[in-house]
Homo-oligomer: A and B are copies of this chain.
Amino acid sequence: MKKQSGITITDIAKELKISVATVSRAFNNHPYVKPELKKQILEFAKTHGYQPSSLASGLRKGKTKTIGVIIPRNNRNFFSNIISSIEEVLTTAGYNTLICQSFESPEKEDSNITTLINSNVSGIIISHCLGKNSHKNIEEAINKGIKVIQFDRVFNAPQTSFVINDNKQGAKEVVLHLLKQGYKRIAFFYGSLTTNIFKERQLGYLEAHKEMGIKPDTSLFFKNTLTREEGYNTTKQIIDKNIKFDAIFSCGDYSALGAYLYIKERGLKIPEDIGIAGFADEPFTEFTTPSITSVNQNDKEMGRLVAEQLIREIENEKSTQIQITIPTIVKYRESTQRL
């Protein structure tokens, strides 16, 4: 099985009776190439359909024009939006986008990183899976000269730039809103406090209570309640157990949806009996009845910023690491308006 690899730099050199070095220089707009010669080379290349081999140049330079992106999963509105804008920015800047999903498995995430290192990517954009606690791999990547940037779910440990949402502020605003609507006992659905986003949202929850002079009841904190199913079941359990609560603030829209479904099924009224607020602003939250209050994370903007910053760090030796926090926007909807 042969591969007609197409015309190469050597072919051009031979044809034009010049050296490969000159041809190479012409393509890399190296300063010292006589303009006419350069023009001639470029023209020849164009008419003959020359395509540079990124493998060869990558091997030679020890660096490629490709970036790896690692996310928990692509079929979540938040992440697919992010990937979409990351890819757009990277392509425009001449980079390829290698995509990897960890499926919330630390082992998969590790092997993804290894794969990316072997592929000689020049940068890695990552949002960690839940339960990740080692960053040996990330450090290895950094040591090999790969620029790493984190977003959304980040660690402080390996020193990298990152882009996150103002989770605390978003959560605080929502919970404040709930409290002002007269809800007094707000259940908090989250993933795990080892992950920054949940920790920060919890802080927002607590701050809102403090600001309103209301003592939060930590027995209303429910861990590992992020999926639709978990939201449904947890809501069922707390109602069945007769635990007193009058609202739910969930760190994810899918579990908020699960709660919504169970509450309706049970014949209770939203927002009158129970208020519901989620996080992520998944498209469906706008169309349920009642529509569900949620926190928009400015996905596209986040993707753009993270990609741009990474490129900056790759192309600019003296660029410094930065931490960007993007404001969240609370979408106030019917599920929390009972006044």
Using a CB–CB cutoff of 8 Å, the interface residues on chain A facing chain B are 1-6, 49, 51-56, 58-59, 62-64, 66, 73-77, 80-81, 83-84, 87-88, 91, 96-101, 103, 112, 114-115, 117-120, 140, 143-145, 257, 282-284, 286-289, 317
Contact = CB atoms under 8 A, between A and B. Distances in A.
5 contacts: A53-B118, A55-B55, A66-B119, A98-B98, A282-B283
A280 to B, nearest CB: 12
A317 B274 CA distance: 61
B99 A97 contact: yes
A119 B120 CA distance: 13
A100 B87 contact: yes
A81 B75 contact: yes
A118 B283 contact: no
Given A101-B84, A287-B284, A1 B145 contact: yes
Nearest to A5: B62
A230 B334 CA distance: 27
Contacts of A74: 74, 80, 83-84, 87
- What 7 A-B pairs are tightest by C-beta distance, nearest first? A80-B80, A3-B62, A74-B84, A75-B84, A284-B284, A3-B145, A55-B59
Contacts of A77: 75
A83 B91 CA distance: 18
- The quantity of this chain's copies bound in the complex is 2
A131 to B, nearest CB: 19
Nearest to A80: B80
A100 B98 contact: no
B53 A55 contact: no
Contacts of A99: 83, 87, 97-99
Contacts of A284: 283-284, 286-287
A286 B289 CA distance: 11
A119 B288 contact: no
A84 B88 contact: no
Contacts of A75: 77, 80-81, 83-84
A68 to B, nearest CB: 9
A202 B65 CA distance: 43
A54 B120 CA distance: 8
Nearest to A99: B99
